Amino acid sequence: MTYELFIADRAFSSWSLRGWLMFEKFAIPVRTVMADLYGGGLEQDLGPLFPARLVPVLRTPEGHVIGETLAIAETLAERHPEAGLWPADRGARALARWMSAEMHAGFTALRSACPMQLLYRYEGFQPSTEVLADLERIGALIAHARKLYGAEGPWLFGRYSLADCFYAPVAARIAGYGLPVAPEVAEYVALTLADPAFRRWRALGLTKTYDPVPYAMALPTAPWPGPDPIAAHPLPHGPADNDACPYSGETPMHFMQLGDKVIGFCNPTCRDKSVLDPEAWPALSPWLPA
């Protein structure tokens, strides 16, 4: 039995994003289970996981139930020390935990005014004084971490760590509402949006549509500010250039056009997530333009 991670709608659940990245970025096997956050079924879906009441929720291979992303983070770091989830340096590790805890419990103005949404960028959003104060604090923390511990790479502490899992939804909020930030923060936001794992999460989120859209604002929208995906589109039929779905190995039944290639997939979700961002999926690398 592997880990089970109960999550909610990828395009909107910032807490679920944090939990999922802890597995995806550190190659820890997990099976995700969708909970019904917006349809009124969350309490029923989490019923067998008492006392959990919010997503994400982790169930370990032994059956232990763990809620709250900080607790999930520490559990995984304890169980997988070889994965290097926290920075190796003691000082960096302490600061990473501090920053993650502050994100988990703080920035309430930003989180309230700007719910995470990965659909597009709102234009003309006017941040309050309180939101601007949160952004200033976030900028100070990112600059401090980068100055002290950022020499080994582009992430908060050089190499990717659990702190980056916690700050990915912050970056998404800044991007999704076009918020004003310092250049160093803008660079971190761009880095997060370009990360293939983040792009896979978003592509999967976009396979589901909403009417009405959660947290919708009466503001004009612009395209999502992340990297432009390679053009691809679904096809009603094959034949495909491949004999098996790149993800499952099963017989292709659904198809997409990518350049001069026709790729087949076992189900509509495999096809649609691939159409939305082909470069995000390593399984598609044989068909990507050189």
Per residue in 124-154, pLDDT tens?
A: 999 999 999 999 999 999 999 999 999 999 9
- For residue 237, give both structure tokens: 């039929």
Mean pLDDT along residues 200-211? 96
pLDDT single digits (tens) 73-96:
999 999 999 999 999 999 999 999
Looking at residue 286, what DSSP letter applies? G
pLDDT single digits (tens) 242-257:
999 999 999 999 999 9
- The pLDDT, as a whole number, for residue 193 is 98
Question: Which band of pLDDT confidence, cut at 50, 70 and 90, is reported for residue 1?
Answer: low
Question: Which band of pLDDT confidence, cut at 50, 70 and 90, is reported for residue 122?
Answer: very high
Question: Cα(32)–Cα(39) distance, rounded to whole angstroms?
Answer: 18
DSSP alpha helices (H): ranges in 150-178?
Answer: 162-176
Mean pLDDT along residues 9-20? 98
pLDDT > 90: percent of the chain = 98
Q: For CATH 3.40.30.10, list the domain ranges present in the chain.
A: 3-83
Mean pLDDT along residues 262-267? 98
- Reported pTM: 0.97
Pick the CATH number of 90-200 from 1.20.1050.10, 1.10.10.60, 1.10.10.10, 2.160.10.10: 1.20.1050.10
- The pLDDT, as a whole number, for residue 290 is 79
- The pLDDT, as a whole number, for residue 253 is 97
Mean pLDDT along residues 51-79? 97
Question: Is the CATH number of domain 3-83 3.40.50.920?
Answer: no
pLDDT single digits (tens) 37-57:
988 899 999 999 999 999 999
The answer for residues whose C-beta is within 8 angstroms of residue 266's C-beta and 6 or more apart is 245, 247, 248, 250, 251, 252, 253, 254
Q: For CATH 1.20.1050.10, list the domain ranges present in the chain.
A: 90-200
> 12, 215 in Cβ contact below 8 A?
yes
pLDDT > 70: percent of the chain = 100
Sheet containing 233-235: order of strands: 233-235, 254-258, 261-265
Average pLDDT over the chain, rounded to whole? 97
